[in-house]
Structure 1
Amino acid sequence: MRTPARHAASAAAALLALSCLTACADDASTSTSAAGGGGKGEHVKIMVGGLDKVIYLPAMLTQRLGYFSAEGLDVELLSEPAGVQAETALVAGQVQGTVGFYDHTLDLQVKGKEVESVVQFSHAPGEVEVVSAKAAGSIRSPKDFKGKKLGVTGLGSSTDFLTKYLAVKNGVDVSEFTPVAVGAGQTFVSALQKGSIDAGMTTDPTVATLLRKRAGTVLVDMRTPEGSQAALGGPYPSSSLYMRTDWVNSHKDTVQKLVNAFVKTLRWMHTHSAAEIAAKMPADYSQGDEALYAEAIKDTLPMFTEDGVMPANGPETVEKVLRAFNPNIKNAEVDLARTYTTEFVQKAAG
């Protein structure tokens, strides 16, 4: 049992750590703004949970379309394949925003960190549970996850959250399977092919690559609102731009410019074909197969919103999913109203 003195010391240490994080964030804001001088516009750092993932496509596409610069911003996009690491960079003040899954805002709130989604890119996860060709006979539904090794991008990531929910929903306890952090892209493909995992959750273009190689088959497809409804029981807002609430409140003009740019991109995506979108992206994203990359974009496009607005009942679905298995949230009180704001998308639409 903690003594009062030890409890007080721990509280003081926690307060000091929080103060340091706040100072770091302020320093990052100052230094990046200074770095954006010389007529380039205000400099903002955004960490993306995998720049080449189709679910986060609006980040790079906005850059390529010139919408950031049109708003007077110099946006630096950084990539971290696992969303949980991207979240950590935001909390530590290394970046001003994160393009990642909305569900992190709930997880962080119960840990005492206030972050909020300022523009919602999607109303479905865009994730797919893929079973290896070797294990296809033994895994016919999430009910068969017991005793299996299941790939996720990182422990504590959104793919980890969703995998656990699919298991629990289908009668398999989280202790009855083994989550394995395998990242995305080629590391995921290799893990599935070598048998390091029996199945795993990933996104396009990795899904398209696996299907083309006949290395795996689709078990659960959550790339559409219908797929999200079937698997999760409702719309599941996933990819978004989320930021620290204190930074949002003290930099509203900058946030509005970012949201304006992203909403323009979402509208552009809904009036152009997958092939036209693919043509705007960096050449190396297609990995030498432009047709396959365009196909991957086409399969994932239904997940994206047209206006950046949080889908009705979306936050409630996310809370239900997280409460099913996440011990941090299961018995905690979550204020969903503090996990997102529509203030900026409403102005962008006006």
Structure 2
Amino acid sequence: MIKFRHALLSALLTAVVAGCGVASGATEAKVLRYQGSTGAVTFPELAEELGYLGDVKLKWVGNTTSGPQDIQSAATGQTDFGGAFDGAIVKLKAAKAPIKAVIGYYGADQENFSGYYVSENSPIRAARDLVGKKIGVNTLGAHHEAVIKEYLRREGLTPEEIKQVQLVVIPPVNTEQAIRQGQLDAGTLTGVLKDKALERGGLRPLFTDVGLLGPFTAGSIVMREDFIARNPATTRTFVTAFAKAVEWAQTHSREEVIATFEKIIAKRGRNESADTVRFWKSTGIAGKGGVIAAKEFQTWIDWLERERDIRPGQVKAADLYTNEFNPYGGGSAS
């Protein structure tokens, strides 16, 4: 954590120095750099297709490898916005990154959730059975680690017992096979990979994130605070368009959303398959148009304090986000 913080602060200093060259009163930025995801459509891309962005343009600079990587790119000025699990945003803010969450972009509901699965004949039936076992996750320090540890805590495991549950980083496409072959005792499955694995049978859920926490928005889009200050009109246009795209997906039929996603993927010409989007079920976002609720950050602040990754009171939910630019947030800041 210390090495990460030093590296981040160094990169942030470079970004700030570069930003000092922007003249006072300069024209606001109209091109926003971002990272995408192979075979998936982001809400800004949907907003662009629906004509909500107006004169603001998107510039794709490549695909992200993870949420923490995506928001670090935004924090250090390599991109203009990025998204990650809210707990990862808390940790980045604790490392003095000058970022602000402006809208929620993914979450969990009854249609769209993450499950933590074991083989059908596994002796693992309860949280305590995971002590000394291996669970596969896509990355550390993000959504799945947080949910697993919250589940273990709520089921009564001590901090010492929780430390004995080993989290193993594995590409999501390999998780199902690793569970079936006994290389993992349990694994995280979500989206199309979960649906296909369950169709094949032989797996059962130990728990799910929506079962543990109820419907919730799990991740947010962040922008640098200095970018917002220099580009308030562009920020409002971007967040408004993003929010309208979320609301469009929340209120239109699944068939219409999928057809639009397929159209976007075909038009952008990145040599990728649209097969994954055909399994799309819902946004998973709890708030209308991606409006952020304080509890969506407070849950993970509390977790990180218990994990001693941040000090008590080091980060406050009110400092992490704003709904000021979201038309569905009533124009009120956090």
Q: TM-score, normalised by structure 2?
A: 0.78
Give 1:79 shift.
2.4
Give 1:215 shift.
5.3
Higher helix share: 1
1:237, 1:318 within 8 Å by CA — same for their partners in 2?
no
Distance 1:302 1:108, change over 3 A: closer
Q: 1:113 aligns with which of 86, 93, 97?
A: 97
CA offsets, 1:211-249, max 9 Å, x none?
122253333233xxxx3xx413x6643132112223222
2:240, 2:327 within 8 Å by CA — same for their partners in 1?
no
1:163, 1:201 within 8 Å by CA — same for their partners in 2?
no
Inter-partner Cα distance in structure 2 for 1:341 and 1:116: 7
CA offsets, 1:42-68, max 9 Å, x none?
2212235x5546xx8534433443433
1:307, 1:349 within 8 Å by CA — same for their partners in 2?
no
Verify: 1:327 aligned to 2:308, yes or no.
yes
Give the percent of matched residue pairs that are identical in Structure 1 and Structure 2: 22
Inter-partner Cα distance in structure 1 for 2:49 and 2:250: 16
Inter-partner Cα distance in structure 2 for 1:141 and 1:303: 29
Distance 1:89 1:190, change over 3 A: farther
Matches within 5 A, 1:43-82: 43-48=31-36, 50=37, 52=39, 57-68=42-53, 70-76=54-60, 78-82=62-66
Amino acid in structure 1 at the alignment position of 2:179: L
Unaligned ranges ≥5, structure 1: 1-9, 32-40
Give 1:311 shift.
2.7
Inter-partner Cα distance in structure 2 for 1:30 and 1:73: 22
Inter-partner Cα distance in structure 2 for 1:195 and 1:64: 44
Inter-partner Cα distance in structure 1 for 2:236 and 2:60: 17
Aligned residue number for residue 336 of structure 1: 317
Amino acid in structure 2 at the alignment position of 1:245: E
Verify: 1:218 aligned to 2:202, yes or no.
no
1:101, 1:238 within 8 Å by CA — same for their partners in 2?
yes
Inter-partner Cα distance in structure 2 for 1:254 and 1:338: 21
**2:33 aligns to what SS in structure 1?**
strand
Q: 1:145 aligns with which of 130, 137, 147?
A: 130
Amino acid in structure 1 at the alignment position of 2:292: M
Aligned residue number for residue 171 of structure 1: 156
1:236, 1:318 within 8 Å by CA — same for their partners in 2?
no
Inter-partner Cα distance in structure 1 for 2:198 and 2:14: 47
Aligned residue number for residue 238 of structure 1: 218
Inter-partner Cα distance in structure 2 for 1:261 and 1:51: 22
Inter-partner Cα distance in structure 2 for 1:25 and 1:154: 29
Give 1:99 shift.
1.9
CA offsets, 1:254-277, max 9 Å, x none?
221210111111121122111211
Q: 1:131 aligns with which of 117, 121, 127?
A: 117
Unaligned ranges ≥5, structure 2: 23-28, 267-271
Verify: 1:182 aligned to 2:166, yes or no.
no
Amino acid in structure 2 at the alignment position of 1:311: A
Aligned residue number for residue 297 of structure 1: 280
Inter-partner Cα distance in structure 2 for 1:218 and 1:26: 49
Aligned residue number for residue 26 of structure 2: none
Inter-partner Cα distance in structure 2 for 1:72 and 1:249: 17
**2:299 aligns to what SS in structure 1?**
helix
Cα-Cα RMSD: 3.4
Amino acid in structure 2 at the alignment position of 1:164: K
**2:47 aligns to what SS in structure 1?**
helix
2:289, 2:328 within 8 Å by CA — same for their partners in 1?
no
Inter-partner Cα distance in structure 2 for 1:212 and 1:127: 16
Verify: 1:317 aligned to 2:303, yes or no.
no
Distance 1:94 1:302, change over 3 A: closer
Verify: 1:87 aligned to 2:67, yes or no.
no
Aligned residue number for residue 266 of structure 1: 246
Give 1:180 shift.
0.8
Q: 2:15 aligns with which of 20, 24, 39?
A: 24
How many correspondences in the alignment? 309
